[in-house]
């Protein structure tokens, strides 16, 4: 018997209401040593995913380490997207070993978690593998993470993928939440975030609108 296709999305695709975004250690001291991604690109992608999560009402956990004694504040690109939200300060390199963070994970109550932060091989590998062990579905936004070398970032990504973590990118995250240009209630927000933070794609949106009133999906 042949398989029948149906016009429904795959179960592993993210939706705005099925996950939480966990942003880890986007801080000055961690950034100084990050060499696997340009700092401007990293900050831009952190802003993009933060605004995507905020715009689609995705619950977010913002966590930092040694803010006042070593690492400095979290990027304003993130804190500006979540005004007034408290940073969960840790001492542990593995976010999953912090009782305050786990309390917030349990309060939010999502079985899917999406991670991004610094550094990939320490502060992202630790919680993702720990969450997997406890039965969560785990995603990592690879281009919103960075490490001290390309090798460190790539080996960390490979290790997580081999364990079952699902990799994605920043623009992919935004567009996966939108999914359908007929969703007019979030259309303007999505294209606005893309215009501001999605590089050449954003420039293309601006060009199409300015030159001949074009838009995604014909809106």
Q: How much is the pLDDT for 218?
A: 56
Q: How much is the pLDDT for 214?
A: 65
pLDDT over 90 at 66, yes or no: no
Q: State the virtual CA torsion across 161, 164, 168, 173 in degrees, nearest 10.
A: -160
User: Residues of the chain with pLDDT > 70: what percent?
Assistant: 97
Give pLDDT tens digits for 68-97. 888 899 999 999 999 999 999 999 999 999
**Which domains can be identified in the chain, with CATH numbers?**
19-179 (3.40.50.850), 180-219 (no CATH)
Give pLDDT tens digits for 200-213. 988 888 888 888 77
State how far the Cα of 30 lies from the Cα of 123, in Å rounded to an integer: 10
Give the single-character DSSP code of 96.
G
pLDDT over 60 at 219, yes or no: no
Lowest-confidence segment of 55-59, 184-188, 202-206, 214-218 by average pLDDT: 214-218
Mean pLDDT of the chain: 95
Hey, what are 158's tokens? 């490979």
Reduced to 3 states (helix: H, G, I; strand: E, B; else coil), residue 48 is: helix
The strand pairing partners of 116, in sequence order, are: 23
User: 141 with 168: CB under 8 angstroms?
Assistant: yes
State how far the Cα of 41 lies from the Cα of 56, in Å rounded to an integer: 22
């Amino acid at each position: 018997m042949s398989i029948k296709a149906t016009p429904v999305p795959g179960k592993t695709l993210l939706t705005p209401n099925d996950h939480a975004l966990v942003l880890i250690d986007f801080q000055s001291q961690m950034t100084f040593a990050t060499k696997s991604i340009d700092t401007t690109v990293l900050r831009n992608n952190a802003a993009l995913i933060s605004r995507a999560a905020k715009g689609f009402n995705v619950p977010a956990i913002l966590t930092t380490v040694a803010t006042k004694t070593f690492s400095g504040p979290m990027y304003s690109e993130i804190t500006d997207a979540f005004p007034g939200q408290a940073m969960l300060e840790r001492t542990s390199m593995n976010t999953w070993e912090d009782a305050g963070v786990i309390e917030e994970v349990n309060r939010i109550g999502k079985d899917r978690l999406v991670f991004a932060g610094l550094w990939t091989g320490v502060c992202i590998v630790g919680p993702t593998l720990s969450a997997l062990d406890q039965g969560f579905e785990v995603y990592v936004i690879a281009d919103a993470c960075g490490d001290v070398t390309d090798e460190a970032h790539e080996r960390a990504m490979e290790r997580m993928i081999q364990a079952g973590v699902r990799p994605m990118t920043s623009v992919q995250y935004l567009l996966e939440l939108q999914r359908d240009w007929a969703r007019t209630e979030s259309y303007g927000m999505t294209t606005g975030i893309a215009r501001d933070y999605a590089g050449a794609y954003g420039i293309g949106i601006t060009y199409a609108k300015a030159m001949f009133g074009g838009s995604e999906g014909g809106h």
